[in-house]
Amino acid sequence: MPSSTPQQTPTPGDFFTLNLLYSIPIIGTIFLIKHATDPANPVRRNFARSKFIPFLIYGILIVAALIFGAIIYAANGWKFE
């Protein structure tokens, strides 16, 4: 169903601004999640999702590395030698 409001085509400056916004540590993450789930602007939503997927993959890899490191550390008798 077509929307009643026309969608404005984003400019390269819009994407640059969103990249700057998403690079701010905590605020950027909040806006990234908000924009990735916002149905109002599909171009911005898809752009945010393209930034959010690697964010999730890197987060999962970091958590897995921390768990693996803790297992290795525990197997060594909680000593670092």
Number of domains in the chain: 1
Describe the chain by its helix, strand, coil percentages, rounded to 5. 70, 0, 30
The CA distance from 18 to 40, in Å, is 16
**Residue 57, in any domain of the structure:** yes
Q: Record the pTM.
A: 0.71
Q: What is the pLDDT of residue 57?
A: 95
The CA distance from 25 to 55, in Å, is 12
pLDDT tens, the chain, 81 aa long? 455 566 678 899 999 999 999 999 999 999 999 999 999 889 999 999 999 999 899 999 999 999 999 998 888 887 766
Q: Which amino acid is at 14?
A: D
**Residue 1, in any domain of the structure:** no
The CA distance from 26 to 50, in Å, is 18
- Contacts of residue 29, defined as CB under 8 A and 6 or more positions apart, other chains included, come to 22, 55
Q: What is the pLDDT of residue 1?
A: 47
**Residue 2, in any domain of the structure:** no
What domain range is 30 assigned to? 12-75
